[in-house]
Amino acid sequence: MLARRARLTTISSGSTDLKRSAGREAMEATTEPRTLSDGITAKINAFVERRDGLKAANRYFYLQPIAGQTNHRVPMADGRDMVMLASYSYLGLIGHPRIDAAAHEAIETYGTGAGGVRLLTGTMDLHERLERRLAEFSHREDACVYSSGYVTNIAIITGLMGPGDLVVMDKLDHASIVDGCLLSGSKWKTYRHNDMDHLEKILSDAENEYNTILVVADSVFSMDGDVMDLPRVRELCDRYGARLMVDEAHSIGSLGATGHGIEEHFDMIGSIDLKMGTLSKSIPSVGGYLAARHDIVDYQRHMSRPFIFSAALPPAQTAAAIAALDVIEEEPWRVKQLHDVTARYSEGLKAQGWDTMRSTTCVVPVMVGDEAKTMDLTRMLFDRGIFVCPIVHPAVPRGTDRLRTCLMATHTTEDIDQVLDAFSVAGKALGLI
Protein backbone atom coordinates (compact mmCIF):
# COMPACT_ATOMS: atom_id res chain seq x y z
CA MET A 1 0.00 0.00 0.00
CA LEU A 2 2.82 2.39 0.93
CA ALA A 3 4.66 1.42 -2.26
CA ARG A 4 1.52 2.13 -4.28
CA ARG A 5 1.17 5.56 -2.66
CA ALA A 6 4.84 6.29 -3.34
CA ARG A 7 4.33 5.33 -6.98
CA LEU A 8 1.24 7.56 -7.25
CA THR A 9 3.14 10.43 -5.65
CA THR A 10 5.92 10.00 -8.15
CA ILE A 11 3.46 9.93 -11.05
CA SER A 12 1.66 12.98 -9.67
CA SER A 13 4.92 14.85 -9.19
CA GLY A 14 6.03 14.00 -12.69
CA SER A 15 2.69 15.10 -14.07
CA THR A 16 3.07 18.42 -12.25
CA ASP A 17 6.56 18.89 -13.65
CA LEU A 18 5.26 18.17 -17.12
CA LYS A 19 2.45 20.73 -16.68
CA ARG A 20 4.87 23.36 -15.42
CA SER A 21 7.19 22.69 -18.34
CA ALA A 22 4.31 22.91 -20.80
CA GLY A 23 3.13 26.11 -19.16
CA ARG A 24 6.57 27.70 -19.49
CA GLU A 25 6.74 26.72 -23.14
CA ALA A 26 3.28 28.17 -23.75
CA MET A 27 4.23 31.45 -22.07
CA GLU A 28 7.45 31.63 -24.06
CA ALA A 29 5.51 30.99 -27.24
CA THR A 30 3.03 33.77 -26.53
CA THR A 31 5.84 36.28 -25.97
CA GLU A 32 7.21 35.73 -29.46
CA PRO A 33 6.07 38.46 -31.91
CA ARG A 34 3.31 37.44 -34.26
CA THR A 35 2.68 38.86 -37.69
CA LEU A 36 -0.98 39.81 -38.00
CA SER A 37 -2.50 39.86 -41.45
CA ASP A 38 -6.08 40.78 -40.57
CA GLY A 39 -8.10 43.77 -41.76
CA ILE A 40 -7.22 45.89 -38.73
CA THR A 41 -3.52 45.68 -39.50
CA ALA A 42 -4.14 46.54 -43.14
CA LYS A 43 -6.14 49.61 -42.20
CA ILE A 44 -3.52 50.80 -39.73
CA ASN A 45 -0.69 50.25 -42.19
CA ALA A 46 -2.52 52.22 -44.88
CA PHE A 47 -3.16 55.05 -42.44
CA VAL A 48 0.45 55.15 -41.24
CA GLU A 49 1.73 55.22 -44.81
CA ARG A 50 -0.58 58.12 -45.68
CA ARG A 51 0.15 60.07 -42.49
CA ASP A 52 3.92 59.62 -42.77
CA GLY A 53 3.80 60.61 -46.42
CA LEU A 54 2.01 63.85 -45.55
CA LYS A 55 4.49 64.60 -42.79
CA ALA A 56 7.47 63.92 -45.05
CA ALA A 57 6.03 66.34 -47.62
CA ASN A 58 5.35 68.96 -44.90
CA ARG A 59 1.61 68.62 -45.60
CA TYR A 60 0.34 67.37 -42.24
CA PHE A 61 -1.76 70.04 -40.49
CA TYR A 62 -3.92 68.07 -38.08
CA LEU A 63 -3.82 67.94 -34.26
CA GLN A 64 -1.91 71.20 -34.13
CA PRO A 65 -0.76 71.95 -30.54
CA ILE A 66 -2.08 75.24 -29.16
CA ALA A 67 -1.14 76.90 -25.89
CA GLY A 68 -4.05 79.10 -24.88
CA GLN A 69 -7.62 80.20 -25.53
CA THR A 70 -9.08 79.90 -29.00
CA ASN A 71 -10.55 83.17 -30.20
CA HIS A 72 -10.01 85.27 -33.32
CA ARG A 73 -6.31 84.65 -32.71
CA VAL A 74 -4.72 81.63 -31.09
CA PRO A 75 -1.33 81.14 -29.39
CA MET A 76 0.52 78.12 -30.71
CA ALA A 77 2.76 75.83 -28.65
CA ASP A 78 5.74 76.84 -30.81
CA GLY A 79 5.26 80.50 -29.87
CA ARG A 80 3.46 81.75 -32.97
CA ASP A 81 0.35 83.92 -32.75
CA MET A 82 -2.03 83.01 -35.60
CA VAL A 83 -5.34 84.22 -36.97
CA MET A 84 -7.83 81.44 -36.18
CA LEU A 85 -9.85 80.53 -39.25
CA ALA A 86 -10.96 77.02 -38.25
CA SER A 87 -12.97 77.47 -35.04
CA TYR A 88 -16.71 76.94 -34.59
CA SER A 89 -16.81 79.57 -31.84
CA TYR A 90 -18.71 81.85 -34.20
CA LEU A 91 -19.58 84.51 -31.62
CA GLY A 92 -16.14 84.51 -29.97
CA LEU A 93 -17.51 83.62 -26.54
CA ILE A 94 -14.62 81.43 -25.34
CA GLY A 95 -13.11 83.29 -22.41
CA HIS A 96 -16.10 85.60 -21.92
CA PRO A 97 -15.77 86.73 -18.26
CA ARG A 98 -19.42 86.16 -17.42
CA ILE A 99 -19.35 82.61 -18.78
CA ASP A 100 -16.07 81.78 -17.07
CA ALA A 101 -17.41 83.13 -13.77
CA ALA A 102 -20.49 80.91 -14.02
CA ALA A 103 -18.29 77.84 -14.58
CA HIS A 104 -16.05 78.69 -11.61
CA GLU A 105 -19.05 79.20 -9.33
CA ALA A 106 -20.52 75.85 -10.38
CA ILE A 107 -17.30 74.04 -9.48
CA GLU A 108 -17.27 75.68 -6.05
CA THR A 109 -20.88 74.65 -5.43
CA TYR A 110 -21.16 71.25 -7.12
CA GLY A 111 -17.59 70.07 -7.71
CA THR A 112 -16.15 68.87 -11.01
CA GLY A 113 -18.40 65.93 -11.91
CA ALA A 114 -22.03 64.88 -11.99
CA GLY A 115 -21.36 61.51 -10.36
CA GLY A 116 -23.29 59.35 -12.79
CA VAL A 117 -26.31 59.17 -15.07
CA ARG A 118 -29.20 61.49 -14.32
CA LEU A 119 -31.88 58.82 -14.45
CA LEU A 120 -30.35 56.86 -11.55
CA THR A 121 -27.88 59.12 -9.74
CA GLY A 122 -30.04 62.21 -9.65
CA THR A 123 -30.56 65.32 -11.73
CA MET A 124 -28.88 68.50 -10.58
CA ASP A 125 -30.97 71.64 -10.54
CA LEU A 126 -28.32 73.03 -12.93
CA HIS A 127 -29.31 70.44 -15.55
CA GLU A 128 -32.98 71.31 -15.15
CA ARG A 129 -32.21 75.03 -15.41
CA LEU A 130 -30.24 74.46 -18.61
CA GLU A 131 -33.05 72.45 -20.16
CA ARG A 132 -35.64 75.09 -19.27
CA ARG A 133 -33.36 77.76 -20.71
CA LEU A 134 -32.84 75.80 -23.93
CA ALA A 135 -36.58 75.26 -24.30
CA GLU A 136 -37.16 78.99 -23.87
CA PHE A 137 -34.35 79.88 -26.31
CA SER A 138 -35.74 77.40 -28.87
CA HIS A 139 -39.42 78.37 -28.39
CA ARG A 140 -40.29 74.80 -27.41
CA GLU A 141 -42.07 73.15 -24.48
CA ASP A 142 -39.08 71.19 -23.25
CA ALA A 143 -35.47 70.19 -23.95
CA CYS A 144 -33.23 67.24 -23.12
CA VAL A 145 -29.44 67.55 -22.80
CA TYR A 146 -26.92 64.89 -23.90
CA SER A 147 -23.17 64.49 -23.50
CA SER A 148 -22.27 65.61 -27.05
CA GLY A 149 -23.85 66.80 -30.27
CA TYR A 150 -22.81 63.59 -32.02
CA VAL A 151 -24.52 61.52 -29.35
CA THR A 152 -27.63 63.71 -29.53
CA ASN A 153 -28.30 62.89 -33.18
CA ILE A 154 -27.82 59.20 -32.48
CA ALA A 155 -30.10 59.43 -29.43
CA ILE A 156 -32.96 61.12 -31.28
CA ILE A 157 -32.96 58.81 -34.28
CA THR A 158 -32.42 55.54 -32.38
CA GLY A 159 -34.90 56.56 -29.69
CA LEU A 160 -37.76 57.46 -32.03
CA MET A 161 -37.14 55.39 -35.16
CA GLY A 162 -36.82 51.64 -35.75
CA PRO A 163 -37.82 48.71 -37.98
CA GLY A 164 -40.78 49.63 -40.14
CA ASP A 165 -39.80 53.33 -40.22
CA LEU A 166 -37.99 55.42 -42.84
CA VAL A 167 -35.46 58.21 -42.39
CA VAL A 168 -34.94 60.52 -45.37
CA MET A 169 -31.88 62.74 -45.19
CA ASP A 170 -29.96 65.23 -47.28
CA LYS A 171 -26.91 63.68 -48.95
CA LEU A 172 -24.63 66.14 -47.11
CA ASP A 173 -26.04 65.59 -43.62
CA HIS A 174 -23.56 65.14 -40.77
CA ALA A 175 -22.01 61.71 -40.16
CA SER A 176 -23.77 61.40 -36.79
CA ILE A 177 -27.13 61.42 -38.59
CA VAL A 178 -25.99 58.59 -40.86
CA ASP A 179 -24.74 56.62 -37.84
CA GLY A 180 -28.04 57.18 -36.05
CA CYS A 181 -29.88 55.67 -39.01
CA LEU A 182 -27.58 52.65 -39.10
CA LEU A 183 -28.03 52.00 -35.39
CA SER A 184 -31.78 52.53 -35.36
CA GLY A 185 -32.65 49.56 -37.57
CA SER A 186 -34.88 51.77 -39.71
CA LYS A 187 -34.61 52.06 -43.45
CA TRP A 188 -33.02 55.23 -44.77
CA LYS A 189 -32.66 57.04 -48.06
CA THR A 190 -30.79 60.17 -49.14
CA TYR A 191 -31.97 62.91 -51.44
CA ARG A 192 -29.62 64.97 -53.58
CA HIS A 193 -28.32 67.99 -51.72
CA ASN A 194 -31.08 70.60 -51.34
CA ASP A 195 -32.92 69.01 -54.29
CA MET A 196 -36.57 69.40 -53.34
CA ASP A 197 -37.86 67.57 -56.40
CA HIS A 198 -35.83 64.52 -55.43
CA LEU A 199 -37.04 64.76 -51.83
CA GLU A 200 -40.64 64.91 -53.02
CA LYS A 201 -40.12 61.85 -55.24
CA ILE A 202 -38.81 59.83 -52.27
CA LEU A 203 -41.66 60.96 -50.01
CA SER A 204 -44.27 60.27 -52.66
CA ASP A 205 -42.96 56.75 -53.26
CA ALA A 206 -42.81 56.07 -49.51
CA GLU A 207 -46.31 57.30 -48.69
CA ASN A 208 -48.32 54.70 -46.70
CA GLU A 209 -45.38 52.27 -46.79
CA TYR A 210 -43.92 52.96 -43.34
CA ASN A 211 -45.09 53.49 -39.79
CA THR A 212 -43.20 56.79 -39.50
CA ILE A 213 -41.27 58.89 -41.99
CA LEU A 214 -38.69 61.31 -40.60
CA VAL A 215 -36.96 63.89 -42.78
CA VAL A 216 -33.62 65.05 -41.36
CA ALA A 217 -31.48 67.93 -42.61
CA ASP A 218 -28.64 70.11 -41.40
CA SER A 219 -29.62 73.76 -41.05
CA VAL A 220 -26.18 74.97 -42.19
CA PHE A 221 -24.15 72.37 -44.07
CA SER A 222 -20.77 72.25 -42.39
CA MET A 223 -18.60 71.63 -45.46
CA ASP A 224 -20.41 73.87 -47.96
CA GLY A 225 -21.74 76.70 -45.80
CA ASP A 226 -25.14 76.84 -47.47
CA VAL A 227 -28.56 76.64 -45.80
CA MET A 228 -31.36 74.08 -46.04
CA ASP A 229 -34.57 75.09 -47.80
CA LEU A 230 -36.72 75.05 -44.66
CA PRO A 231 -39.91 76.48 -46.24
CA ARG A 232 -39.99 73.87 -48.98
CA VAL A 233 -38.96 70.95 -46.73
CA ARG A 234 -41.70 71.85 -44.24
CA GLU A 235 -44.24 72.04 -47.05
CA LEU A 236 -43.28 68.58 -48.33
CA CYS A 237 -43.37 67.06 -44.84
CA ASP A 238 -46.90 68.41 -44.34
CA ARG A 239 -48.02 67.14 -47.73
CA TYR A 240 -46.75 63.59 -47.22
CA GLY A 241 -47.27 63.20 -43.48
CA ALA A 242 -43.60 63.18 -42.45
CA ARG A 243 -42.00 64.58 -39.32
CA LEU A 244 -39.11 67.04 -39.59
CA MET A 245 -35.85 67.00 -37.63
CA VAL A 246 -33.22 69.72 -38.13
CA ASP A 247 -29.62 69.71 -36.92
CA GLU A 248 -28.91 73.29 -35.79
CA ALA A 249 -25.28 72.72 -34.83
CA HIS A 250 -23.95 75.46 -37.12
CA SER A 251 -26.95 77.83 -37.13
CA ILE A 252 -27.42 78.68 -33.45
CA GLY A 253 -25.60 81.97 -32.93
CA SER A 254 -24.94 82.45 -36.63
CA LEU A 255 -28.34 82.51 -38.39
CA GLY A 256 -31.15 84.95 -37.77
CA ALA A 257 -30.97 88.59 -36.72
CA THR A 258 -30.41 87.59 -33.08
CA GLY A 259 -28.71 84.21 -33.58
CA HIS A 260 -31.71 82.03 -32.75
CA GLY A 261 -31.18 79.84 -35.79
CA ILE A 262 -32.86 78.75 -38.95
CA GLU A 263 -36.47 79.30 -37.84
CA GLU A 264 -35.65 82.95 -37.13
CA HIS A 265 -33.74 83.17 -40.41
CA PHE A 266 -36.85 82.18 -42.38
CA ASP A 267 -39.36 83.70 -39.91
CA MET A 268 -40.85 80.23 -39.33
CA ILE A 269 -40.80 79.88 -35.54
CA GLY A 270 -42.28 76.53 -34.45
CA SER A 271 -42.03 74.87 -37.86
CA ILE A 272 -39.57 72.12 -36.86
CA ASP A 273 -40.78 69.03 -34.99
CA LEU A 274 -37.42 68.00 -33.53
CA LYS A 275 -34.76 70.68 -33.04
CA MET A 276 -31.28 69.36 -32.37
CA GLY A 277 -28.44 71.64 -31.32
CA THR A 278 -24.96 71.58 -29.82
CA LEU A 279 -23.41 73.34 -26.84
CA SER A 280 -19.87 73.37 -28.24
CA LYS A 281 -19.88 75.85 -31.11
CA SER A 282 -21.39 79.32 -30.65
CA ILE A 283 -22.13 78.14 -27.10
CA PRO A 284 -18.63 77.58 -25.61
CA SER A 285 -19.27 74.43 -23.61
CA VAL A 286 -19.86 70.78 -24.47
CA GLY A 287 -22.93 68.62 -25.10
CA GLY A 288 -26.01 68.61 -27.28
CA TYR A 289 -29.77 68.89 -26.90
CA LEU A 290 -33.17 68.01 -28.29
CA ALA A 291 -35.88 70.68 -28.07
CA ALA A 292 -39.44 69.58 -28.84
CA ARG A 293 -42.86 68.91 -27.31
CA HIS A 294 -42.76 67.89 -23.66
CA ASP A 295 -44.11 64.38 -24.28
CA ILE A 296 -41.41 63.63 -26.88
CA VAL A 297 -38.62 64.97 -24.68
CA ASP A 298 -39.82 63.12 -21.59
CA TYR A 299 -40.03 59.89 -23.60
CA GLN A 300 -36.42 60.40 -24.67
CA ARG A 301 -35.28 60.93 -21.08
CA HIS A 302 -36.62 57.49 -20.19
CA MET A 303 -36.06 55.56 -23.42
CA SER A 304 -33.03 56.87 -25.35
CA ARG A 305 -29.96 54.78 -24.55
CA PRO A 306 -27.39 57.62 -24.77
CA PHE A 307 -29.30 59.48 -22.03
CA ILE A 308 -29.76 56.43 -19.82
CA PHE A 309 -26.21 55.11 -20.12
CA SER A 310 -24.08 58.29 -20.35
CA ALA A 311 -22.94 60.36 -17.39
CA ALA A 312 -24.50 63.81 -17.10
CA LEU A 313 -22.75 67.00 -18.16
CA PRO A 314 -20.24 68.29 -15.59
CA PRO A 315 -21.55 71.22 -13.50
CA ALA A 316 -19.08 73.77 -14.90
CA GLN A 317 -20.03 73.01 -18.51
CA THR A 318 -23.73 73.10 -17.65
CA ALA A 319 -23.45 76.49 -15.97
CA ALA A 320 -21.30 77.82 -18.82
CA ALA A 321 -23.99 76.88 -21.34
CA ILE A 322 -26.72 78.65 -19.33
CA ALA A 323 -24.62 81.81 -19.10
CA ALA A 324 -23.78 81.65 -22.82
CA LEU A 325 -27.45 81.58 -23.81
CA ASP A 326 -27.99 84.70 -21.71
CA VAL A 327 -25.00 86.44 -23.31
CA ILE A 328 -26.19 85.63 -26.84
CA GLU A 329 -29.55 87.25 -26.15
CA GLU A 330 -28.13 90.20 -24.22
CA GLU A 331 -25.30 90.99 -26.66
CA PRO A 332 -27.02 90.85 -30.08
CA TRP A 333 -24.28 93.04 -31.53
CA ARG A 334 -22.15 89.90 -31.76
CA VAL A 335 -24.49 88.35 -34.32
CA LYS A 336 -24.56 91.51 -36.44
CA GLN A 337 -20.79 91.80 -36.27
CA LEU A 338 -20.44 88.16 -37.35
CA HIS A 339 -22.62 88.85 -40.38
CA ASP A 340 -20.60 92.00 -41.24
CA VAL A 341 -17.25 90.21 -40.89
CA THR A 342 -18.48 87.32 -43.02
CA ALA A 343 -19.71 89.63 -45.80
CA ARG A 344 -16.42 91.53 -45.98
CA TYR A 345 -14.37 88.35 -45.99
CA SER A 346 -16.49 86.51 -48.58
CA GLU A 347 -16.60 89.50 -50.91
CA GLY A 348 -12.82 89.87 -50.59
CA LEU A 349 -12.22 86.24 -51.56
CA LYS A 350 -14.57 86.43 -54.54
CA ALA A 351 -12.90 89.63 -55.73
CA GLN A 352 -9.61 87.75 -55.83
CA GLY A 353 -11.18 85.00 -57.93
CA TRP A 354 -11.75 82.27 -55.34
CA ASP A 355 -14.74 79.91 -55.55
CA THR A 356 -16.64 79.98 -52.23
CA MET A 357 -19.29 77.58 -53.57
CA ARG A 358 -22.87 78.20 -52.38
CA SER A 359 -21.96 79.57 -48.96
CA THR A 360 -24.21 82.28 -47.51
CA THR A 361 -23.03 81.84 -43.90
CA CYS A 362 -19.95 82.24 -41.72
CA VAL A 363 -18.80 78.79 -42.89
CA VAL A 364 -16.96 79.71 -46.08
CA PRO A 365 -15.36 76.96 -48.18
CA VAL A 366 -12.54 77.86 -50.56
CA MET A 367 -12.68 75.36 -53.40
CA VAL A 368 -9.39 74.09 -54.84
CA GLY A 369 -10.32 70.70 -56.31
CA ASP A 370 -6.89 69.07 -56.10
CA GLU A 371 -5.55 67.46 -52.93
CA ALA A 372 -1.88 68.35 -53.43
CA LYS A 373 -2.63 71.98 -54.22
CA THR A 374 -5.03 72.15 -51.27
CA MET A 375 -2.22 70.99 -49.00
CA ASP A 376 0.26 73.43 -50.57
CA LEU A 377 -2.19 76.31 -50.14
CA THR A 378 -2.64 75.37 -46.50
CA ARG A 379 1.14 75.35 -45.96
CA MET A 380 1.56 78.79 -47.49
CA LEU A 381 -1.26 80.20 -45.35
CA PHE A 382 0.21 78.61 -42.22
CA ASP A 383 3.56 80.19 -43.01
CA ARG A 384 1.78 83.56 -43.13
CA GLY A 385 0.14 83.11 -39.75
CA ILE A 386 -3.29 81.79 -40.79
CA PHE A 387 -4.61 78.73 -38.92
CA VAL A 388 -6.76 76.74 -41.33
CA CYS A 389 -7.17 73.04 -42.13
CA PRO A 390 -7.54 71.31 -45.50
CA ILE A 391 -10.64 69.23 -46.17
CA VAL A 392 -9.91 66.31 -48.49
CA HIS A 393 -11.27 62.85 -49.31
CA PRO A 394 -12.96 61.01 -47.58
CA ALA A 395 -14.44 64.02 -45.74
CA VAL A 396 -15.54 65.34 -49.16
CA PRO A 397 -15.78 63.63 -52.57
CA ARG A 398 -12.59 63.36 -54.62
CA GLY A 399 -12.03 66.39 -56.80
CA THR A 400 -13.77 68.74 -54.36
CA ASP A 401 -10.80 69.26 -52.02
CA ARG A 402 -11.03 72.61 -50.28
CA LEU A 403 -10.23 74.75 -47.30
CA ARG A 404 -13.12 75.14 -44.88
CA THR A 405 -12.81 78.57 -43.25
CA CYS A 406 -14.94 79.81 -40.35
CA LEU A 407 -15.49 83.41 -39.34
CA MET A 408 -15.95 84.79 -35.83
CA ALA A 409 -17.65 87.93 -34.57
CA THR A 410 -14.39 88.91 -32.89
CA HIS A 411 -12.27 88.90 -36.07
CA THR A 412 -10.84 92.39 -36.49
CA THR A 413 -10.27 94.44 -39.64
CA GLU A 414 -6.55 93.70 -39.25
CA ASP A 415 -7.27 89.94 -39.03
CA ILE A 416 -9.30 89.95 -42.24
CA ASP A 417 -6.71 92.07 -44.05
CA GLN A 418 -3.98 89.62 -43.04
CA VAL A 419 -6.07 86.64 -44.21
CA LEU A 420 -7.01 88.17 -47.57
CA ASP A 421 -3.41 89.23 -48.23
CA ALA A 422 -2.21 85.70 -47.47
CA PHE A 423 -4.80 84.17 -49.81
CA SER A 424 -3.81 86.58 -52.56
CA VAL A 425 -0.09 85.85 -52.31
CA ALA A 426 -0.54 82.07 -51.98
CA GLY A 427 -3.20 81.81 -54.68
CA LYS A 428 -1.11 83.64 -57.25
CA ALA A 429 2.04 81.67 -56.39
CA LEU A 430 0.19 78.39 -56.87
CA GLY A 431 -1.66 79.52 -60.01
CA LEU A 432 -5.05 79.09 -58.33
CA ILE A 433 -6.28 82.66 -58.98
**How much is the CA Rg of the chain, to the nearest whole Å?**
27
Which candidate in 96, 250, 260, 265 is catalytic? 250
Q: Is 281 a catalytic residue?
A: yes
Rounding to the nearest 10 degrees, give the CA dihedral for residues 419, 425, 426, 427: 100
Share of the chain above pLDDT 70, in %: 91
Which residue is catalytic, options 72, 265, 275, 281?
Answer: 281
Q: Is the dihedral of CA 316, 318, 320, 323 positive or negative?
A: negative
Q: How far apart are CA 209 and CA 185, in angstroms?
A: 16
What's the rounded mean pLDDT across residues 377-402? Answer: 94
pLDDT band at 22 (very low <50, low <70, confident <90, very high): low
- What string of DSSP letters covers 372-423? HHHHHHHHHHHHTTEE--EE-TTSS-TT--EEEEE--TT--HHHHHHHHHHH
What's the rounded Cα separation, in Å, for the pair 113 and 121? 12
Confidence at 23, pLDDT banded by 50, 70, 90 = low
Q: For residue 376, what pLDDT band results from cuts at 50, 70 and 90?
A: very high
Active site residue 250: yes
Q: Is the pLDDT of residue 417 over 60?
A: yes
pLDDT tens profile 201-260 = 999 999 999 999 999 999 999 999 999 999 999 999 999 999 999 999 999 999 999 999
- Sequence spans of domains, the chain: 57-86+332-429, 97-330
The answer to whether the predicted template modeling score (pTM) of the entire model surpasses 0.75 is yes
pLDDT value at residue 14: 45
What integer is the mean pLDDT of 257-272? 98
Q: What is the pLDDT of residue 121?
A: 86
Q: Would you say residue 13 has pLDDT above 60?
A: no
Q: What is the CATH number that goes with domain 97-330?
A: 3.40.640.10
350 catalytic residue (yes or no): no
- Choosing from 89, 176, 222, 304, the catalytic residue is 222
Statement: 57-86+332-429 belongs to CATH 3.90.1150.10: yes
The residue with greater pLDDT, 296 or 120, is 296
